[in-house]
Amino acid sequence: MPVEIKELIIRANIVDSNDTNYQSAIEGNSEQKQEIIAACVAQVLKILERQRER
């Protein structure tokens, strides 16, 4: 019986020795943060909708 992989999750942690770049990336633009959050919410809603269809 074959095994089907429906989802593959790859995670990576990147460590930078320069902490000043990290702080500026955290502070960033609030519009960009809102766009990222909206995209994440949309993806989660799509996943939940697919799960309900099964």
Confidence of residue 43 (pLDDT cuts 50, 70, 90): very high
Report the predicted TM-score, pTM, of the whole model to 2 decimal places.
Answer: 0.46
Residue 3 lies in a domain: no
Residue 45 lies in a domain: yes
Residue 21 lies in a domain: no
Tally of domains within the chain: 1
pLDDT of residue 14: 77
Higher-scoring residue by pLDDT: 29, 44: 44
Residue 35 lies in a domain: yes
As a whole number of Å, the CA-based R_g of the chain is 17
How far apart, in whole angstroms, are the C-alpha atoms of residue 54 and residue 52?
6
Residue 2 lies in a domain: no
Which range of residues forms the domain containing residue 35?
A: 29-54
How far apart, in whole angstroms, are the C-alpha atoms of residue 23 and residue 11?
22
Q: What tens digit of pLDDT does each residue of 4-31 get?
A: 878 888 888 877 666 555 555 556 677 7
